[in-house]
Amino acid sequence: MILRRLWEHDLAWSFRRSPVTIVATALTLIWVGAALLAPWVSPQDPFDMASLNLSDAFTPPAWDEKGIGRYPLGTDNQGRDILSTIMHGARISLGVGLAAVLFALVLGVSLGLLAGYLGGRVEAIIMRIADVQLSFPAILIALLIDGVARVALPGDRHDELAIPVLVLAIGFAGWVQYARTVRGSTMVEKSKEYVQAARVIGRRPLAIMLSHVLPNVMGPVLVIATIHIATAIITEATLSFLGVGVPATRPSLGTLIRIGNEFLYSGEWWITLFPGIALVVLVLSVNLLGDWLRDALNPKLR
């Protein structure tokens, strides 16, 4: 019964109608599955030094003459199986991307709610900062925050702090969009009767914001968040490629591409190309999913 209603639902209907979306969802699910289950399903544990065999280094993909069946996509300079490193890398890329989006969402939504609901000086300050930040590209801000934080932190704790710093940097570079959207819809909701009623019966502003306004402004926020995940993954990959992201001991897709890039000229193209393809497929499918969600939730476009 519930399944049937779910099947007949508007979203499900537009989902069935779009083969691209179905493929994108399937790919995204495969990625999430591979990332979550990487420690159990990957053919090799790329971080377990004992299982690495240096004599297997630079093995080309399995279909090449010199390929070995054990390494379907070949191995890198340390003899790590590329397929396994990609699965583990996707885990880090997705993890950092999701955490950064979550951080940006919480920060942006809170500031947007405050600005829209309180108005006045609070609003002026928050929105001015947002305007200024918006005039710089997000990736530059993330790079600057990340770079400054790396230099400011003590050197011996770089590796363990690298991922939290990265999450904060990418998240902080992305809060503006959420704040602007939420502020706009909060200003609309604020003047509606249910908010006035809540105010009349004497609920405190914070309670009104959280329990009445917030649920009604979250719709567009979720759409922004979906598309933002793809951007966050790209940003993470770019920073890692530049060598200021996650450390090489726990490589993400971007780190793998950077490591592989050094061997591009000597002909070992698979070390960098496969993580690259993996990154593109991941980003593209998340992006297509986000596009579909945006169109499906927007009644104007139907």
Sign of torsion, CA 32 37 39 44?
A: negative
How far apart CA 64 and CA 288 sit, in angstroms, is 33
**Helix runs in the chain, H state only:** 2-8, 10-17, 19-41, 82-118, 120-134, 138-152, 158-172, 175-190, 193-200, 205-208, 214-242, 253-261, 270-297
Least distance (Å) between residue 63 CB and other proteins: 18
Question: Does 19 participate in binding other proteins (rule CB under 8 A)?
Answer: no
What is the b/e burial string over 131-170, where b = at least 16 CB atoms within 10 angstroms of the residue's CB?
eebeeeebbebbbebbeebbeeeeeeeeeeebbebbbbbb
Question: Does 147 participate in binding other proteins (rule CB under 8 A)?
Answer: yes
81 DSSP β-pair partners: 75
Question: Does 172 participate in binding other proteins (rule CB under 8 A)?
Answer: no
Binding span for other proteins by CB under 8 A among 39-47, 108-116, 171-179, 279-287: 279-287
Question: Does 92 participate in binding other proteins (rule CB under 8 A)?
Answer: no
Question: Does 94 participate in binding other proteins (rule CB under 8 A)?
Answer: no
Q: Among residues 29 and 280, whose Cβ is nearest to other proteins? A: 280
Q: Among residues 108 and 276, whose Cβ is nearest to other proteins? A: 276
Question: Does 279 participate in binding other proteins (rule CB under 8 A)?
Answer: yes
Least distance (Å) between residue 262 CB and other proteins: 11
Binding span for other proteins by CB under 8 A among 13-21, 30-38, 198-206, 281-289: 281-289
What is the H or E stretch that residue 192 is in? none
With 0-12 CB in 10 A as exposed, 13-18 as middle and 19+ as buried, what is 302? Answer: exposed
75 DSSP β-pair partners: 81
How far apart CA 234 and CA 256 sit, in angstroms, is 14
Nearest alpha carbon to residue 243 among 108, 134, 127, 150: 150
Question: Does 20 participate in binding other proteins (rule CB under 8 A)?
Answer: no
- x/- string (CB under 8 A) for other proteins, residues 240-259? -xxxx------------x--
Q: Please identify which residue in 48, 135, 156, 202 interacts with other proteins, judged by CB under 8 A.
A: 135
Question: Does 218 participate in binding other proteins (rule CB under 8 A)?
Answer: no
Question: Does 222 participate in binding other proteins (rule CB under 8 A)?
Answer: no
Question: Does 176 participate in binding other proteins (rule CB under 8 A)?
Answer: no
Least distance (Å) between residue 283 CB and other proteins: 6
Least distance (Å) between residue 175 CB and other proteins: 17
Backbone φ/ψ region at 18: left (φ over 0), alpha (ψ -120 to 50), beta: beta
Write out the residues near other proteins by the rule CB under 8 A. Answer: 132, 135-137, 139-140, 143-144, 147-148, 150-152, 155, 230, 234, 237-238, 241-244, 257, 261, 264-265, 267, 269, 272-273, 276, 279-280, 283-284, 287
